Amino acid sequence: MARRKKGQAISGWINLDKPYDLTSTFAVGRIRRLFDAQKAGHAGTLDPLATGILPIALGEATKTVPFLVDADKGYRFTIAWGRTTATYDREGETIASSDVRPTPEQVAAMLPAFIGEIDQVPPAYSAIKVDGERAYDLARAGETVELAARKVDVFDIRVVEAPDADHITLDMDCGKGTYVRAIVRDLADALGACGHVSALRRTRVGRFRQENAVALETLENLGYEARQSEALLPVETALDDIPVLAVTDEDAFRLKQGRSIVLVPRQVEAVKAGLKPGSRTVSAMAGGTMVALCEMRAGRLEPSRVFNL
């Protein structure tokens, strides 16, 4: 006899506004316990020193995590001039200092060089694996970490404010894998200055935005009244730009059994119109409920992830 899973079969997303000095893993654990969920995960690690959007998946929503990890993101961050640290944030040991204080106008003039597809070397203190080890573990052990440059997309980066000569705040919209700390490192170098990230907030992950994010304290207060489910978003929230196809109950039954279904020509055309270049992924729904994520091939939908909702 199969062992019964602990917890409740709850599925959906929480758009968590992660507080300062809390790891992503600890945040997931808190949410999982609050909902007594059988399964939980997050879409994209957020450093303990950062605040902001940390989408947390419960139950069947964990099957859509890869789509959100690849989503575009937004950040607001503050640079403190005068000191470069080993980690490029305020917690690191000082490795260089300078009296240079770039003006907002000088920063703004340099920003176009950081927009578009750029080559970026990730910080040594990052979660990237080197020979099976996390780069930050090797760096903390005193080893020299050399990471290869990689292509990242920066859609926009702009000056928000400069409260004083020692600080400047920027907003950035970017694709996956872009490191704010590396942007700050390279921007400071280009300006002949020293600087590090003194504050960092993630403002957006795909459709998850800070305007409708929920604080951990708010969730816990809702939990005291058994109302935490009010903050739960549908599983399909993570599937921002994947076309949706309504299927019949009969076709839904076939997909849930792992069998493909045949599409009529008008369905094929409707799906093709919504597909991103190079993508075949389609979301099949029946009666407003997610049935499966499918691949469209030769006029058929083949299920790749089936949802038990």
Label residue 61 left, alpha or beta by phi (over 0 means left) and psi (-120 to 50 means alpha). Answer: alpha
Q: Do β-strands 289-297 and 244-246 pair in parallel, antiparallel, or remain unpaired?
A: unpaired
Considering 17, 21, 36, 47, which one is annotated as catalytic? 47
Distances (CA, A) of 126 to 88, 119, 121, 289: 11, 17, 11, 38
- For residue 280, with 0-12 CB atoms within 10 Å meaning exposed, 13-18 middle and 19 or more buried, which class applies? middle
**Radius of gyration of the chain from its Cα atoms, rounded to whole angstroms:** 22
Q: Is 17 a catalytic residue?
A: no
| Three-state secondary-structure class, residue 252 | helix
Of the candidates 263, 238, 253, 270, which has an alpha carbon nearest to the alpha carbon of residue 306?
253
Residues 137, 130: Cα–Cα separation, whole Å: 10
Cβ 29 vs Cβ 51: under 8 Å? no
Bridge partners, 52 (sequence order):
18, 202
Taken as a whole, the chain contains a residue count of: 309
CA distance 291 to 306: 6
**Residue numbers annotated as active site:** 47
